[in-house]
Amino acid sequence: MENKNIVISTKDLKKDFENLQVLCGIDVDIYKGDVVCVIGASGSGKSTFLRCLNLLEKPTSGSILFDGEDLTQAKVDLNLHRQKMGMVFQQFNLFPHLTILQNLTLAPMMLKKIPRAQAEEKAMALLARVGLDDRAASYPNQLSGGQKQRVAIVRALCMEPEVMLFDEPTSALDPEMVGEVLDVMKELAEDGMTMVVVTHEMGFAREVADRILFIDQGIILEEGSPEEFFGNPKMPRTKDFLSKVL
């Protein structure tokens, strides 16, 4: 692939928490339209890696190039870059005192100075896409977990990001609600959204990912297509992990 298609590139990315080295040098290129699923055991550094990509965690060393600009440099306008990187967390982080529509239009109006009518029109169209346009006037506590997570995805999409980062978006959900969230993510992937997804959902990773990154003890131990990774894992540690989760 040519360089112009690289959206995010990390070089020797390291992160320490006091004496604990969580990321031990991550090198990866993420291309436009890529769906990259990041998997590994709890505590392996997956979520830390994801949170470093938009500097919610500040790396100890290394570089993160996003659209060709190194986000770790002091002069970078981080808020501008974060607008281009949507983030969906395990917890939905919706404002409980605002309606769903108000939750969705707040950031576009404040940060991008989009007029209210335009922001609301965009939000309603996206809500309709995830089957929740009838809940625009509801408050978060009136929605199920799966509905809240779909709203959280829409909230990120309202900023028209170039990349979507998902940090175990289904792990806080009841099992019967997982599918409705994964379905929205599959549609995004089909539409060509660049996505980095930390997930325990192996079926989703196998079906939707272009590439799997297996992080173990702070390094990318193995990466490859879903066919290679699930069908013919190379490292003993990968085989051991997959034997426990599949």
Per-residue pLDDT, 114: 96
Weakly modelled stretches of the chain, pLDDT under 70: 1-4
Contact 107, 87 (CB under 8 A): no
CB atoms under 10 Å from CB of 28, counted, come to 19
Per-residue pLDDT, 4: 60
Which tens digit of pLDDT belongs to each residue from 54-84? 999 999 999 999 988 999 998 999 888 999 9
Q: Where are the alpha helices (DSSP H) in the chain?
A: 46-53, 78-83, 100-111, 116-129, 145-157, 175-190, 202-208, 226-231, 236-245
d(CA 50, CA 5) in angstroms, rounded, equals 20
Class of residue 96 by CB neighbours under 10 A (exposed 0-12, middle 13-18, buried 19+): exposed
User: What Cα–Cα distance (Å) separates residue 150 from each residue in 64, 100, 184, 190?
Assistant: 28, 11, 7, 17
**pTM (2 decimals)?**
0.94
Q: Which helix (H) or strand (E) holds 222?
A: strand 219-224
